[in-house]
């Protein structure tokens, strides 16, 4: 199966599993947009994400990173609950498999 398709499918599943958003295309777009954000921000390996997580939740760089992911979750799922989107973004960056898939996708874009 195409690597880009598979990475997008798996990463989108993680968002669906937590949001139960019934718009598969929106989830697909969310993942592609997050991967594009990673690409444009030069976040292209898990070590960079690990570094962001290590600096701590109180640091602006961490909040900037999570805010971008949470915003895309909001835009594509329509979930208006900011904290739910924030916690989902934090959940996603803690998932090694999700990180692996989104990084792979960012490198393929």
- Is pTM beyond 0.85? Reply is yes
Tens digits of residue pLDDT in 29-49: 999 999 999 999 999 999 999
pLDDT computed for residue 1 by the predictor:
56
Torsion of CA 80, 83, 84, 87, to 10 degrees: 150
The arithmetic mean of pLDDT across residues 82-107, rounded, is: 96
Give the residue extent of every domain in the chain. 3-108
- In sign, the C-alpha dihedral spanning 61, 66, 71, 76 is positive
């Amino acid at each position: 199966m195409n690597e880009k398709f598979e990475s997008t499918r798996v990463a989108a599943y993680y968002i669906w599993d937590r949001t139960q958003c019934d718009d598969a295309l929106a989830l697909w777009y969310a993942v592609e947009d997050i991967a594009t954000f990673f690409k444009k921000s030069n976040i292209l390996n898990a070590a960079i994400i690990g570094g962001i997580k290590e600096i701590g939740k109180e640091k602006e760089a961490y909040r900037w990173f999570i805010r971008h992911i949470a915003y895309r979750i909001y835009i594509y799922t329509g979930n208006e609950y900011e904290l739910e989107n924030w916690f989902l973004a934090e959940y996603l960056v803690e998932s090694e498999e999700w990180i692996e898939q989104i990084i792979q996708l960012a490198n393929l874009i």
